[in-house]
């Protein structure tokens, strides 16, 4: 019996040792320095790498359930340059107008919270068509784990093709404004870059900035950004670098910073900051109206 006990204890000790030896530290959010020195590639790919780390997922509490009622928009489809079908949620202006706003989702997908944002913009601005782009091709996440999976499959070429398809859909006479949050904040700026001379104004909420100066030189519109001082993606250091980069290339950027964390403007986020969100919303509407 004593020998059996010794064997069992030895087995447990060995298992515990191996388990401890094989533990790996969860990846952390990439630092501003690492974004400058660890990579030389596309910022969009860099973000995809970060968005698939536990550190980034930890910034996102699972959203509260929300169902949009009395919606005025409808789902539409359009072709993208890669030959695939793309889609979005469209709210048409009652009067004919060439003003368009592309609304770009958070990493959760085109859920009812994003559609609510599109509805609010359409109602307050009036003379504008609002198109919320479906960047996940119909998939919507309700947990951080599923959002990571959808981000992983949303390749940069596919995302760019969706935006280019939307630009073609609205036509060459359209004046295109963009707005987005988190993943969508980054793609708001990227969409304005893709829109070329049609870009009329860009709003980005806590989105990863572009750090390629050559690309920023081709930006044809003013940018307004809203960021949290307690955020780690992008961190205050990354935002400061963005401000410096925009100054170097002679592009106009206005930033507003709040004592808030990541996703502070999402009402379905348990970390929602009502005061910061209301202030940012007023400034967003004022900016967009000034450009229309």
Which has more pLDDT, 48 or 75? 75
What confidence score (pLDDT) does residue 221 get?
98
In CATH terms, the fold of domain 2-291 is Rossmann fold (3.40.50)
pLDDT tens digits, 248-290:
999 999 999 999 988 899 888 888 999 999 999 999 999 999 9
pLDDT tens digits, 143-187:
989 999 998 889 999 999 999 999 999 999 999 999 999 999 999
Average pLDDT, the chain: 87
Token duo for residue 283: 């400034």
Which has more pLDDT, 62 or 135? 135
Distance between first and last Cα of the chain: 86
What confidence score (pLDDT) does residue 96 get?
94
Which has more pLDDT, 13 or 211? 211
CA distances from 92 to 27, 74, 118, 249 (A): 43, 9, 11, 35
pLDDT band at 3 (very low <50, low <70, confident <90, very high): very low
pLDDT greater than 60 at residue 38: no
The percent of residues above 90 in pLDDT, for the chain, comes to 70
Predicted structure pTM score: 0.85
pLDDT tens digits, 121-153:
999 999 999 999 999 999 999 998 999 999 888
Could you give the CA distance from residue 124 to residue 274 in angstroms, rounded to a whole number? Answer: 19
Could you give the CA distance from residue 121 to residue 132 in angstroms, rounded to a whole number? Answer: 11
What confidence score (pLDDT) does residue 34 get?
53
pLDDT tens digits, 94-116:
999 999 999 999 989 999 999 99
Q: How many CA atoms lie within 13 A of 247 on its CB side?
A: 8
What confidence score (pLDDT) does residue 140 get?
95
Token duo for residue 74: 């409808």
Question: Domain-by-domain residue ranges, the chain?
Answer: 2-291
pLDDT tens digits, 226-246:
999 999 989 999 999 999 999
Cα Rg of the chain, angstroms: 22
Tokens 């964390």 found at? 261
């Amino acid at each position: 019996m004593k020998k059996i006990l010794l064997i069992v204890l030895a087995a447990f000790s060995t298992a515990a040792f191996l388990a401890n030896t094989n533990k790996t530290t969860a990846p952390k959010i990439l630092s501003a320095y690492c974004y400058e020195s660890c990579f030389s590639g596309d910022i969009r790919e860099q973000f995809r790498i970060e968005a698939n780390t536990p550190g980034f997922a930890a910034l996102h509490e699972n959203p509260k359930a929300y169902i949009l009622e009395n919606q005025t928009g409808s789902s539409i489809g359009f072709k993208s340059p890669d030959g695939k079908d793309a889609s979005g949620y469209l709210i048409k202006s009652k009067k004919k107008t060439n003003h368009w706003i592309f609304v770009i989702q958070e990493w959760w997908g085109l859920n009812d919270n994003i559609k609510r944002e599109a509805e609010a913009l359409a109602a307050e601005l009036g003379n504008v068509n609002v198109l919320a782009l479906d960047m996940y091709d119909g998939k919507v996440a309700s947990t951080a784990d599923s959002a990571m999976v959808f981000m992983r499959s949303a390749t940069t070429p596919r995302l760019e093709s969706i935006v280019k398809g939307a630009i073609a859909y609205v036509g060459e006479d359209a004046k295109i404004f963009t707005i987005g949050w988190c993943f969508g904040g980054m793609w708001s700026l990227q969409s304005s870059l893709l829109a070329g001379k049609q870009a009329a104004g860009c709003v980005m909420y806590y989105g990863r900035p572009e750090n390629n100066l050559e690309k920023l030189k081709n930006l044809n519109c003013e940018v307004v950004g809203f960021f949290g001082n307690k955020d780690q993606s992008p961190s205050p250091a990354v935002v400061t670098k963005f401000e410096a980069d925009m100054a170097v290339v002679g592009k106009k950027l206005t930033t507003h910073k709040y004592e808030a964390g990541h996703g502070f403007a999402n009402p379905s986020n348990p970390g929602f900051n009502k005061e910061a969100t209301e202030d940012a919303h007023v400034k967003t509407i004022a900016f967009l109206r000034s450009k229309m």
